[in-house]
Amino acid sequence: MTLRGTLRINNAPGLADAGNGGTTQRDSYLGQLTKLFPVEVVSIYPAGIILLKAVEVKTWWFAWLCVVGIILFRSIATTSKDGGSAQYVAVGVALISFLLWVVVLGGWFLPNAAPPSEKTIAIATAISLVWTWLAPLVVARFEPTATSGAAR
């Protein structure tokens, strides 16, 4: 199994898909939403934070290590199977989702900054609720509608 194209958002139904010789179905709203949340770091980030806190190491840099991982992983996973470009808007949406999630969990990603206050966490939670429903719309608005690099 290949990683390439597995998280690619298809918001244009019926376009030719060079990867399987047929046409690709449009992703549902829920399908798009699922592809936009960076599940690849959902267990890695909290486990890493617990380990780093146990040895009394600052944890902000671990969030940035996860950001790099998301960029690398999603740049490959949103690239079309026929070698087209990655869906960088979808990668950006996943990054924003991750950073909001970090703050909602009470973490932080800025060096030498105090942890977020309860008010900051509450605001991040409210933004996260809105962002969850807007994320697929952002991708639909700013990402070229194609299932593969050749079908533009």
Q: What pLDDT, on a 0 to 100 scale, did the predictor assign at position 24?
A: 61
**pLDDT beyond 50 at 146:** no
Q: 145 falls in which pLDDT band (50, 70, 90)? A: low
Query: Distance of CA 115 to CAs 45, 76, 135, 141, Å?
Result: 16, 33, 26, 34
- pLDDT tens digits for range 50-105: 999 888 888 888 999 999 999 999 999 999 888 788 999 999 999 999 999 999 99
Give the global pTM: 0.82
